[in-house]
Amino acid sequence: MSNCKICGRITSKIKCSKNNVSYNRCFWCEFISKDDEFIVSEKEELKTYNNHNNSIDDFKYVKYFKEFIDATIMPYIKFGSVLDFGSGPSPVLRQILERDYDFKVDIYDHYYQPQKIYKTKKYDLIVCTEVVEHLKDPLYYFKIFQNHLKKDGYLAITTLFHHNYSDFLLWHYIRDMTHISFYTPKTMNFIGNQIGFNMIYHNDCRYVAFKKISEEVNRE
């Protein structure tokens, strides 16, 4: 047993018989994390990311982002400064936000854009798409998001939510070896309450949006 990385409660162990990988499941906040011993190296992680081949010319990929923008961003904020945190090898989201929505966007990515341009800035909006499932210590990064948002700023996230513990070990999302953290809307609400965010939207599938409601927390 170990303590949940989100709420601190004692977790229970679940194990996937197919690949012999263990996970820690929290019944209280519903967060599930892969055991640290099964987390791949940064070298292996980067190799997986380098296989991604996304482009502004890919109609389906652009449509995916526009659906995210229209659901989690446009109802709450229509202009301002944006940080795309975890922009990936091809920052398509930045191109869409600047070209079609007139936002001004900075990008950061641990591998592909490692300069922490956000360090001296605060933003009206931070977007984080298909990133939080890769984070070993999610609360650390949510604190970064909170610290670098302006007063009443917004955070918009995509990640697939798990829904049923009994089906978790059969879920296609865990097959990606770089996916190590898994959430539900309840998990996100726990995070928001700890960090100083109000969860203002989720679609019970993959989108969640927050509004900053408190001052900065424990700086990174």
> pLDDT tens digit string along 173-202?
999 999 999 999 999 999 999 999 999 999
3-state helix, strand, coil in the chain (%, to 5): 30, 25, 40
Nearest to 105 by CA among 122, 82, 128: 82
Chain center to CA of 105 = 18
3-state class (DSSP) for residue 81? strand
User: According to DSSP H, which parts of the chain are helical?
Assistant: 42-49, 59-72, 92-101, 138-147, 165-168, 185-195
For residue 73, is pLDDT > 60? yes
12-212 CATH choice from 3.90.1150.10, 3.40.50.720, 3.30.420.40, 3.40.50.150: 3.40.50.150
Class of residue 197 by CB neighbours under 10 A (exposed 0-12, middle 13-18, buried 19+): buried
Mean pLDDT of 154-160: 98
> Per-domain residue ranges for the chain?
12-212
Count of CB atoms within 10 A of residue 53's CB?
9
Which one is predicted more confidently, 56 or 9? 9
Joined together, the tokens standing for residue 196 give 């100083």
pLDDT in tens, 104-152: 999 999 999 999 999 999 999 999 999 999 999 999 999 999 999 999 9
Q: Is the CB of residue 122 less than 8 Å from the CB of residue 150?
A: yes
What pLDDT, on a 0 to 100 scale, did the predictor assign at position 220? 56
pLDDT, the chain, mean: 94
Which one is predicted more confidently, 53 or 26? 26
Task: Give the global pTM.
Answer: 0.95
For residue 164, is pLDDT > 80? no
